[in-house]
Amino acid sequence: MPLTALVTGATAGIGAAFARQLAAEGSGLVLVARDTARLESVAAELRAAHGVPVEVLPADLTDAEATRPVLDRLAERDRPVDLLVNNAGMGLKGRFWQTPLADQERMLALNCTSVLRLSHAALGAMVPRGRGDIIVVSSMAGFAPGSRGSYGASKAWATAFAESLAGQLTGTGVHVSAVAPGFVHTEFHQRAGLDMSKLPDLMWLDAPAVAATALRDHRAGKVVSVPGAQYKALAVAARLVPRNAARTITEAFRRRAL
Ligand SMILES: NC(=O)c1ccc[n+]([C@@H]2O[C@H](COP(=O)([O-])OP(=O)(O)OC[C@H]3O[C@@H](n4cnc5c(N)ncnc54)[C@H](OP(=O)(O)O)[C@@H]3O)[C@@H](O)[C@H]2O)c1
């Protein structure tokens, strides 16, 4: 039986790359984002290219009421969602105190609360079924203390959340992993108003490679996936370097490159 994957933030960047790869493998899809016209356009492209069933579920995941249909779809027993990709996320420009509180709250609602809500709904159906998969799109920023203010903190939460679920779910047949990409060419930085022109080329990843690595590592049983050799090395360094030194290094990098 073909599998069904629900991908949030599926109209751009890493989410669209997940959707394209999964559709190419023959997976049915449920695509979630806010922009209905863009969702319909991606859905039409994937149906035509791969002949898979594609549903669209427009929703602003920062809004509890608007998220309700997504939770209901994840909870459906007779139309199971086999894989949830918690991908939608956002960043912000500027120091924490210089950014409007409402924007900070919106970012936390998307990067953390919506991941919590969707995972809760999905697991309520997956655990009794004895199978299912969840991938949380986190970030290298979650490993680097102090690097990106509340964005980095939200991604530290996302990685820790996925790791803790992976432990709790041992033996249930349900698997959870986090993928922690570095900088990826997507709409993310433009949406946040970040100038990335000083970032060296070797620090950039491509969205299709990130999605492919995340899926491959998840299927191999890895709980935390780090795409790209350069970021694998940095992830090891982040574990070995004392946290106060890591804070100094990441802040120096931020001032130079961002
Ligand atoms: N790009 C990077 O360098 C990078 C690095 C590490 C981690 N990440 C993480 O990767 C994930 C995907 O980012 P990306 O770079 O692919 O971003 P992107 O190109 O900006 O795409 C964001 C996607 O999320 C959707 N979205 C945004 N706000 C939403 C909301 N409130 N409700 C529902 N959907 C929403 C967008 O569609 P609509 O606007 O139509 O809603 C779009 O489909 C995020 O979690 C991000 O933190 C990105």
171 alpha carbon – ligand 1 mean position (Å): 32
Q: Which atom of ligand 1 is nearest to the CA of 188?
A: 20
Domains of the chain: 4-257 (3.40.50.720)
- Catalytic-labelled residue, pool 18, 151, 161, 188: 151
Which pLDDT value is given to residue 245?
82
To test the pocket of ligand 1, the residue of 60, 71, 87, 119 to mutate (highest count of ligand atoms within 8 Å of its CB) is 87
The amino acid that residue 57 corresponds to is: L
Q: Which atom of ligand 1 is nearest to the CA of 33?
A: 34
Record the pTM. 0.96
Q: Is 151 a catalytic residue?
A: yes
- Give the up-direction half-sphere exposure of residue 50: CA atoms within 13 A in the CB hemisphere: 19
Which pLDDT value is given to residue 77?
92
Model confidence pLDDT, tens digit, residues 51-81: 999 999 999 999 999 999 999 999 999 999 9
User: Which residue has the least CA distance to atom 22 on ligand 1?
Assistant: 9
Which pLDDT value is given to residue 92?
95
**Tokens 């804070």, located at residue:** 247
* Positions in the chain short of pLDDT 70: 1-2, 145-147, 258
Within its chain, how far is the Cα of 12 from the centroid?
Answer: 12
Which pLDDT value is given to residue 202?
95
Which tokens belong to 204? 């950039």
